[in-house]
Structure formats: structure tokens, C-alpha cells
Amino acid sequence: MKTYILNALFLIMSIPSLHAQTLKQVSGNIKDDLSKDPLVGAIVINQNTTSYTVSDASGNYSLAANASDIIEIKMLGYTTFSCIANDLKSTITLKQDDYVLNQVVVSASRAAQKREEAPMAITSIGTTMLEEAKPQSLEQVINKVPGVLMADLGSEQHMMAIRQPLSTKSLFLYLEDGLPIRPTGIFNHNALNEMNMTMAQNIEVIRGPASALYGSEAIGGAVNIITKIPSIVTSAKVQLRGDSYGYRRIDAIVEGTSDNGKLGVSVGGYSAKRENGYLDHSDFNKSIISAIVSYKLMESLKVTSNTTYMKYYSDMGSSLDSTSFYERDFTSLHNFTKREIELWRSTLTIDKTWNKNSKTIAKIFYRNNKMGQIPSYRIKNDWSNPSKAKGEVNESSFQSYGTVVQHNQNIPSLKTTIRIGASVDYSPTAFWANYIDVDRDESGKYIGYFNTDSVLTDYQTNLLNTGLYAQIEVNPIDRLFITAGVRSDHFKYDYSNNLDETAFSGAPNSINHFNAITPRIGITYTMANDLGFYANYSVGFMPPQVSELYRGVKVPSLAPSYYTNYEVGTWYSLPKGLGYVEAAYYYMQGENEIISVAQDDGSYVNENAGSTKHEGVEAALHLKPISQVFVRIGGAYASHTFDQFDTGKEDFSGNTMANAPNWIANMELTFKPKFLKGFRTSVEFQKVSDYYMDNQNTKKYDGYHLFNLRFGYQFSGFDTWINIMNLTDELYASRVSKSAWGENYSLGAPRTFQVGIGYTLSKKQ
């Protein structure tokens, strides 16, 4: 009897060890069900232990589990996969869907992580949305993000508003795979037209300052275009599209991976043009191509190169005055103004995994960019001679050489991840502008010009930006994550003027230094019922732009701008996968914000505002009541005001900032019927409320509301679509401003029919 008891006790005591002995590493590869592309950043969760991992750049994963543990795989834009560990196959394919419970983001830390661990407002526009919306320009998908308004200025040109008024100022950072596409100091508000939309895998939008990680200009927010990685399956894809206003475009991409899985290649791009559009003198053409080559030297070491070349030309028609706008007279006063861009940028990424808890990523980059203009906005009338005007022809260029290195170290015993990084960006730049005389006809149109021997501006600036940053993420208790980070930046502007002090730009040769320490701290907590909360404090920093500091001035006088941001937010996953809701409140204080102040002669001068306040609430609801219907509702209410700002001539304190609508909203209903597999249709509504045209708050623009209707059908490798944009043909302006000379309206597109067809040829695996 005693022996039986002892044996029973021994058996009971051995159960935990027997259970532990069954623990093993389950591993495999995760792919897109349609394209067979590897899925990067898919979350693989052991539901029994709550441990998880994230798939790597090749779609591979490895996770400890018992044979009977339930393994769940989730990714934004894909249906959730679930099965017991013992039944896992070596390759898992996920089907694209409109909604997933937990998003994966990379822009919050420059590494893939679960959305619920990131204490900030960040939204990922996934592959499904990009594929189904078929955007002709990026604002057609970026405006779906709550709290974001990207204004279409035609020809892929744009302005942005993220927790700031609509602005051409350097308040927003544009990134490609985590790297700024332009150096600090020479911001271009149209910079997203330098992106290759064909090669975009997804787009992440950060709302609020991200300077602690990415540095200067990430003030209102950042837009990160994440490019495709080469498909494991050899495939070719071509798309033809056009619209009812002279737009034509062809997209093509060829990609594949060698049989041994080491070499991957993807080459793709598009050529687009518009002729005889809805607005006079608005033709444009753009050709862009990218080549991505990845090579796995060993299982722990991968090298990837990404090279892009672009040529771009656009007419630059005039904005409309109020009479022309409301009478629908879309004739341009200009017929020779233009913008031309030629660029080449390359990035070499070295991805080294030391062990499962240690990884280093180094990016080495080169940029070469040249832009020439005869800008319409520089043409001013000569009031002493009605048949004459003045303007300029200019050219700006830069080259960049730099690197970003980041090391990620996970310390499991402390439930802590440490990320440290450094960046160097050396960018010699040049700017030249020459005065031109412009002829006007009797109707007031600018019909021609001739060069003069008067040089307005001719300078070079060598820009050097060095940065160090560190971020620590701690998980002290289950479901609680604390993130703290800080970045130190040093900027050196080495300015050389080729003109004397009497010139229009007569600033003397000088070296200007700007330094910044930008911290961030945040916390997230998710309750057992999928209700989560976050809070953060962050600081943004922005030195003056080169053009703000030196163009048209005798002595540089602008100070850097600082932004302090406080934010709280929440999210909730509805039961049974019905949907997802999120909301955020922010308060941001700007100090020394650079504002364009109108002068008596109608020109503008940059000045530091004393202080500004930016406050708002953003919310979004994703709802899937049945498998065939998806509802998306997003919007924001915001207030942007001058706290203290006295120019000496006018006191704007307490005024609302110009071009700052209180309300913006975007909603969409999508239907994919079971009875017609492959068919989709959606209706989208966008609302922009009224806003002041000027800082004096003398007149408002009424705002606008748009409806867009989309249809698509996929079958046997084909994809066809019809989009009807601005369904009700509303007359609207994407941006309106008021100056001493009158009102300026940037015409929004009238009702436009977009059609397209694509075909994907894939090698069967």
C-alpha cells in the first residue's frame, strides 16, 4: 500500500515536468494567400501562455509551445488563423480581410511590435485598403486616417494637416522604410509626390510629435511608406488605368525569389500623365521605378538594397480668385510656369540577428535631387505698368550621404527591450534664382517672359545633422507597457552666399548651430476584456528651414520651434470580432512657431509666433456586423489658436489660425457579397468644415463634403475597377487663402470617373 501511495505521489509531482518536457519550438513561414508574399510583422500568439513573437522579413517565426497549446496568427488586413500547435503546418497562408483585432506597427519603434504596446496615435493603412481603393494619388487613402487631412493640389502635389492647420510648413515628416526622403532643413510640402506608389506595401501614419525617434520635422505627425519585399513566388503584375479628365497610367512590377530562398528581386514602378485636365495649364507626367534586391548571406544576416529613380514634370497653373471659382471659370492666368524634378535615392540595409534577443539594423543611404521651377506664386504685377509683371526662375538641389544604425536588445528576465540608435546626414545643398520680366495681355494673363541679368539668390548650404537616441520598453506586469525615449540632435548650417549684401538674399556667410533634446514617455495598459488605454508626453523640435533662414533676408533672425504634446487615448475590441473602436485626446503647445505674416505690399515674411495651442479629439470605429459588410467611421474635432502673437503691427493673440477646420471626417461602407465572389463596392463620405482664410479671422470658407463610389471585381488573376470620385460633382476648393490682393482657391477635382484593369501572372508553388 505504501508503495502505491509513493508511486502516486511521484506521478503527481512529475506531471509539471512531463508537461514542460513537451514544450518545443514551433516554427514556420507565413504568406499572403493570394500573392504568396512573405508577411512581415504577423503576430504569432500562444494563447495558453500569452507569449508571442512577430514574423521576420522573410515571414518566418519561432515560438515555444506545448503540443496542445492554441496558436493564433494575426495581422492587419488579414483574417485570423488559429489551430493547436501540433497541427501547425510549415507554411501558413493568411487571407486578406478588412479588419483584424490587433494591428502590427513598425513606425512606433523602427521595429515590428503589437499596436497595443505603442503609446501613441498610429494607424496602418494595409495592403487590402491600398489594393481596393486603387488611389491615383496618396490623399485618396491617407485621408481615411482619423484626424488627417491631405489636400490634393493636383499632379500628385499636396498640403498636409495632422494636428496642425493645412500648411506648407515643415511640420510633417515623410519617410520611406523609416528614412526621411529629404534632409532636415529643405522640406518640400509636395515631397510625397517623390514616392513610388506601386511599391507601397502599407502606409503608417503617426499623429503627434515623433522627434524622440525620428528627429526634427516630425511635429504634427509622420507618414511612413513601407515598401514591398520581394515575393517568394515569381510573379508579374501590370495595371492600366485612366480617368475622364485626361489621366493615364501604367503600373508594372516583376518579382521573385531564388529556389534556395537566398536571393529576392523586385522591380516596379509606374508612368503617369495628364493632358487637358479639368483645370487649365495643369498637365503633368511622372515616371518612377524602384529596384529592390535582397540577399540572405546566412540565416542570421540579410542585405537589402532599394534604389529609386524618378523624372517629374508639371505645369503650374494659377490658383483661382473668388469670381473665377464660383463662376466655374477654370482658366489659368499662367501658361509657362512649371516644376521639374529629377531624383535618385538608394538605401543599403544590413539586418543582423545575433540571437533571438539581439538584433542590429544598419541603413546606409544616398540621395540626389534636383528641382527647377518657374513658380506661379512668385509672379507679381508691376502696378506702375499694367502690361508687365515680375517673377523668377529657380533651381534647388541637394545630395545626401548618411547612415542610421539601431540595435534592439531584449532582456527576457527583466521583461525589457532596449533600443539605441545613431544617425548622420550630410547634405550639401544649393539654391539659385534669377529675376524674370513677365508680359501681360489686356485680359491680365501672363503670356511670356524673358530672363534678365539680375540674380536674386545664389547660395550653398552644407547641412550636417547628427543624432543619438535611446528607447526602453518595460513590461513590469502582464498587459502593462512603459516606454521612455530621448533623442539628442545637433544641426550645423554652413552657409555660403555667392552674392553681396545688396542682393535680394544678402545674408553674409555664416555657420548656424541648432541643438535639441527631445524626450518621450508613454504607458499602455490593456485589460482582459480587450479594453486598452495609453498616455504619453512628447516634445517636438524644428530648426528653421534653409529658405526661411536665408532667402530674401539680410541677417538670419529666426529661432527654432518647440512643441510640447500631452495625449491620452483608448481602444476597445468589440466582442466576437465585431469591430474595433479607438479615441485620442491631445493638447500641444507650440513655442516660436514660424508663421508667414502678410506685409503691406502683399508679400509674406517668416516670423516666430510667440506661442500657439493645438487641441483636439480623434476617434475611429471599424465595424464588421457580418462577413460581407465592413463599416469604417473616423473623424476629429480640433482647435488651433494663437496663444500669444503680436507682430508689432497686428496682435493675433486669441485668434484662430488660418486654414484650420474644426471638423474633419471620413466614413466608408464596404460590401463584398458571398453570392458574387471577388466583387466589392464601397461608398465613402468626406467632410471638411468651415475655416478662416486668414490669421486676422476676417473671412471664412464654408468647407465641403464629398462622396466617392467604388466598384471592383477580381477573377482569374484579373482585377477591374471603376471609381466615381466626387459623385455629386460638388464645387469645392482643397485649400483657400486670403491675402492683401484677394482670395486664392485651389480647385478640387469635379466628378471624375476612374477606370482600370490589372492582371497578375504568378508561378504556382
Mean pLDDT over each residue of the chain, to the nearest integer: 90
Residues 201 and 320 in one domain: yes
* Lowest mean pLDDT, pick from 50-54, 341-345, 600-604, 656-660: 600-604
Give 379: exposed, middle or buried? Use CB within 10 Å, 0-12, 13-18, 19+: buried
pLDDT tens-digit series, residues 37-72: 678 778 898 888 878 888 886 788 988 898 888 898
Question: In degrees rounded to 5, what are phi and psi of residue 552?
Answer: 70, 20
**DSSP state, 59?**
S
Residue 415 domain-assigned (yes or no): yes
Please state, as a whole number, how many other Cβ atoms lie within 10 Å of the Cβ of residue 64.
14
pLDDT, position 598: 63
Q: How do beta strands 284-298 and 531-542 pair?
A: unpaired
Give dist(CA 203, CA 178) in Å, integer: 11
Q: Which of 122, 127, 93, 80 is nearest to 105 (CA)?
A: 122
pLDDT greater at residue 26 or residue 463: 463
The residues that bridge with 268 in the sheet, in sequence order, are 253, 290
> What is the C-alpha to C-alpha distance for residues 601 and 597, in angstroms, rounded to an integer?
12
- Residue at 1 is within a domain: no
| Residue 131 and residue 83 share a domain | no
**2 falls in which pLDDT band (50, 70, 90)?**
very low
Euclidean distance between the first and the last CA atom of the chain, given in angstroms as a whole number = 62
Residues 6+ apart with CB under 8 A from 116: 102, 481, 524, 526, 532, 571
- The SS3 call for residue 109 is coil
Of 616, 522, 603, 509, the residue nearest 555 (C-alpha): 509
What CATH code is carried by the domain that includes residue 192? 2.40.170.20
How confident is the model over 241-286, as pLDDT tens digits? 999 999 999 999 999 999 888 999 999 999 999 999 999 999 999 9
Cβ of 15: how many Cβ atoms within 10 Å? 9
* Domain housing 78: 22-97
d(CA 90, CA 68): 17
CA angle 27, 28, 33 (to 5 degrees): 150
Most confident of 34-43, 144-153, 545-554: 144-153
Distance between CA atoms of residues 322 and 327, nearest Å: 8
β-sheet bridge partners, residue 223: 174, 205
Beta bridge mates, 461: 429, 495
C-alpha cell at 469: 537616441
What integer pLDDT is reported at residue 603 of this predicted model?
Answer: 57
Q: Which three cell numbers stand for residue 30?
A: 507565413
Both 683 and 536 in one domain: the answer is yes
Three-class secondary structure assignment of 612-652: EEEEEEEEEEEEEEECCEEEEEEEEEEEEEEEECECCCCEC
Compute how many other C-beta atoms are within 10 angstroms of the C-beta atom of residue 486.
17
**Are residues 230 and 320 both part of a single domain?**
yes
Residues 613 and 683 in one domain: yes
Q: What is the pLDDT of residue 369?
A: 97
Whole-number Å distance between alpha carbons of 9 and 331? 93
Residues 284 and 430 in one domain: yes
pLDDT at position 386: 82
The x, y and z cell numbers of residue 302, run together, are 540579410
In this predicted structure, what is the pLDDT of residue 13?
A: 45
The last residue of a domain, from among 97, 113, 142? 97
Q: What's residue 97's pLDDT?
A: 63
DSSP letter assigned to residue 658? T
Q: What mean pLDDT do residues 108-120 have?
A: 82
Collapse the DSSP code of 197 into the 3-class scheme (helix H, G, I; strand E, B; otherwise coil) and give the result: helix
Domain end residue (candidates: 97, 117, 149): 97
SS3 178: coil
E-assigned strand segments in 234-337: 235-243, 247-257, 263-274, 284-298, 301-315
Alpha-carbon dihedral 42, 48, 50, 53, rounded to 10 degrees: -30
* Residue 3 lies inside a defined structural domain of this protein: no
* CATH code (residue 71): 2.60.40.1120
Is the residue at 112 inside a domain?
Answer: no
- Mapping DSSP to helix (H, G, I), strand (E, B) and coil, where does residue 559 land? coil
Cell of 615: 487641441
- State CA 161 to chain mean position distance: 12
Contact 98, 462 (CB under 8 A): no
The pLDDT value given to residue 4: 46
Question: Which three cell numbers mark 275?
Answer: 493632358
pLDDT tens digits, residue range 632-662?
999 999 999 999 888 777 888 999 999 999 9
Measuring CA to CA, which residue among 618, 690, 697 is closest to residue 650?
Answer: 697
Whether pLDDT at 9 is above 70: no
Neighbours of 560 (CB within 10 A): 17
**Tens digits of per-residue pLDDT, 190-246?**
999 999 999 999 899 999 999 989 988 889 999 999 999 888 888 999 999 999 999
Q: Are 574 and 580 in contact (CB under 8 A)?
A: yes
User: Based on the domain organization, do 84 and 228 belong to the same domain?
Assistant: no
- Phi, psi at residue 410, to the nearest 5°? -100, 135
Q: Do residues 145 and 29 both lie within one domain? A: no
Whether 15 is covered by a domain: the verdict is: no
**Does residue 699 belong to any structural domain of this protein?**
yes
Q: Is residue 282 part of a domain?
A: yes
Percent helix, strand, coil in the chain, to 5, is 10, 60, 35
**175 in the same domain as 86:** no
pLDDT average, residue stretch 517-540:
93
Q: Are residues 600 and 736 in the same domain?
A: yes
Give φ, ψ of 223 to 5 degrees: -120, 120
Mean pLDDT of 294-301: 94
pLDDT of residue 573: 86
CA distance linking residue 673 with residue 667, whole number of Å: 20
Confidence of residue 14 (pLDDT cuts 50, 70, 90): very low
On the question of pLDDT at 604 being above 90, the answer is no
Residues 589 and 660 in one domain: yes
Q: Please say which residue of 52, 81, 97 terminates a domain.
A: 97
At 549, the amino acid letter reads: L
> Mean pLDDT across the stretch 525-540?
92
Q: Which residue type does 35 have?
A: S
Cell of 248: 493615364
In a domain, 174, yes or no: yes
Give 385's pLDDT tier (boundaries 50, 70, 90). Answer: confident
Number of domains making up the chain? 2
Higher-confidence residue: 506 or 96? 506
Kindly provide the residue ranges of all beta strands, DSSP E only, lying in 375-528, ordered along the sequence: 380-381, 388-411, 416-440, 446-474, 480-497, 510-526
324 and 236, same domain (yes or no): yes
pTM reported for the whole predicted model: 0.88
How would you classify the pairing of strands 172-176 and 221-227? parallel
What confidence tier does 104 reach under pLDDT thresholds 50, 70, 90?
A: low
pLDDT, tens only, 697-732: 999 999 999 999 999 999 998 999 999 999 999 999
Residue 213 has φ and ψ, to the nearest 5°, of -110, -45
